[in-house]
């Protein structure tokens, strides 16, 4: 039993490492899609601005054509006016010319608004394009970095899986099946030592009887609260406790003398 525990604990460390790697990989993938989204968003804005400036340019061309037509009309009125002999006809033409003049200044006013809008939209377009270029340059670097990171994770993961396959063969299949099922549920360590009479997975205090069953280790014992498999960390705890206390004292002494 003790040997099986050692092996499952080794597998567990590999699995925990694998879970961590997959988490990192997922985060990196999310970063990658965020970059893509950002790029697409700026591209969309550039397209929208381009369409907007084209629309304004169309309006401006239309206004310019209208002004030209009015100018031609006025020239015609002037010619007619030079030819008429009656006063009321002359006055009517003057009125037509005044109206044309008013129409012209209204269109000119609109045109100047369009010109202003075009200038500011074109400025924005320049900024957006610069922004897009910077983002594209940046994303190439970041994407490369992320993809390299993912490739490294994949290699590391493959190595872990290979090691795991080898170890798996040496563990009783029943124990291994239970371990895997628990791991799948918790995505965390599921074979845990008893520490200070508590399950080190969920930190619930165990009864002395429960603790004794774990210590005997003649079968698998589960934490009644969190269902993790418990083991008695005899050697590790004894050695670990001394190691933790001793260096601390030494360190304190050395800082006092220096």
Residues that bind Zn ion (CB under 5 A): 199, 201-202, 223, 225-226, 228
Q: DSSP states of 66-102 as a string?
A: HHHHHHHHHHHHHHHHHH--SHHHHHHHHHHHHHHHH
Cβ closer to Zn ion: 62 or 226? 226
Query: Can you say whether the dihedral through the CA atoms of 144, 149, 155, 161 is positive or negative?
Result: negative
Cβ closer to Zn ion: 77 or 222? 222
Cβ closer to Zn ion: 147 or 185? 185
Cβ closer to Zn ion: 186 or 225? 225
Q: To the nearest whole angstrom, how small is the minimum distance from the Cβ of residue 202 to Zn ion?
A: 3
Q: To the nearest whole angstrom, how small is the minimum distance from the Cβ of residue 192 to Zn ion?
A: 7
Q: To the nearest whole angstrom, how small is the minimum distance from the Cβ of residue 225 to Zn ion?
A: 5
Q: To the nearest whole angstrom, how small is the minimum distance from the Cβ of residue 198 to Zn ion?
A: 8
Strand order in the sheet with 229-231: 198-199, 191-195, 229-231, 221-222
Q: To the nearest whole angstrom, how small is the minimum distance from the Cβ of residue 200 to Zn ion?
A: 8
Cβ closer to Zn ion: 63 or 233? 233
Cβ closer to Zn ion: 70 or 223? 223
- Residue 97's contacts (CB-CB under 8 Å, 6 or more residues apart) are 74, 77, 78, 81
Q: To the nearest whole angstrom, how small is the minimum distance from the Cβ of residue 214 to Zn ion?
A: 11
Alpha helix (H) ranges present in the chain? Answer: 2-83, 87-168, 173-186, 208-216, 234-257
SS3 199: strand
User: For residues 117, 120, 122 and 127, what is the CA-based torsion angle, rounded to 10 degrees?
Assistant: -150
CA distances from 103 to 41, 66, 68, 100 (A): 42, 9, 12, 5
């Amino acid at each position: 039993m003790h040997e099986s525990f050692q092996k499952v604990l080794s597998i567990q460390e590999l699995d925990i490492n694998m879970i961590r790697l997959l988490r990192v990989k997922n985060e990196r993938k999310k970063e990658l899609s965020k970059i893509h989204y950002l790029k697409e968003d700026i591209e969309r804005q550039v397209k929208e601005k381009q369409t907007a400036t084209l629309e304004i340019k169309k309006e401006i061309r239309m206004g310019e054509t209208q002004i030209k037509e009015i100018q031609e009309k006025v020239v015609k009125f002037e010619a007619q006016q030079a030819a008429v002999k009656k006063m009321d006809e002359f006055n009517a033409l003057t009125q037509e010319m005044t109206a044309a003049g008013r129409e012209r200044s209204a269109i000119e006013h609109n045109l100047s608004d369009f010109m202003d809008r075009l200038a500011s939209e074109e400025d924005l377009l320049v900024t957006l394009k610069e922004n897009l270029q910077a983002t594209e340059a940046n994303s190439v670097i970041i994407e490369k970095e992320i993809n390299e990171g993912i490739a490294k994770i994949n290699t590391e993961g493959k190595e872990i899986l290979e090691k795991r396959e080898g170890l798996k063969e040496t563990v009783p299949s029943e124990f291994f099946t239970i371990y895997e099922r628990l791991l799948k549920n918790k995505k965390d360590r599921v074979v845990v030592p008893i520490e200070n009479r508590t399950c080190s997975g969920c930190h619930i205090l165990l009864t002395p009887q429960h603790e004794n069953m774990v210590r005997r280790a003649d079968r698998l014992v589960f934490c009644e609260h969190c269902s993790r498999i418990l083991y008695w960390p005899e050697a590790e705890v004894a050695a670990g406790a001394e190691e933790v206390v001793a260096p601390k004292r030494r360190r304190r002494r050395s800082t006092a003398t220096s």
